[in-house]
Homo-oligomer: A and B are copies of this chain.
Amino acid sequence: MSKFQRHAFVCLNERAPDNPKGCCASKGAQEVFSLLKRHAHEQGLKGRVRVNRAGCLDACDAGVSVVVYPEAVWYAGVTVADVEEIVLEHLVEGRPVERLRGA
């Protein structure tokens, strides 16, 4: 049973500016999240694919971090410039964007 065909989680965690771990929020996570959600809706994915806010995904160095389930594909260093490709290639076509995959 799966409520969604795909479920993307964007780390929106925010740490204090002097925290050595850094955080996704300081690297544009909110913009990535909003754009990902908007593009997914524009592609008619509402109800089939959910784009979700998430707390710390434990990949702070690699932020902005996004993980897509059920295939457990992790994206690292995502920027707003990458969002359209993730939506069209992965969320619509089911082909993970290899160049953005995290370690």
Contacts and interface: CB of A to CB of B under 8 A. Distances in A.
B1 A72 contact: yes
A19 interface: no
A67 B50 CA distance: 13
B55 A52 contact: yes
A99 interface: no
A58 B54 contact: no
Contact of A72 (B3, B9, B53, B73): B3
Interface residues of A, number: 25
Interface string A82-103: 0000000000000000000110
A102 B71 CA distance: 21
Interface in A1-37: 1-4, 7, 9, 12
Contacts of A72: 1-4, 7, 69-70
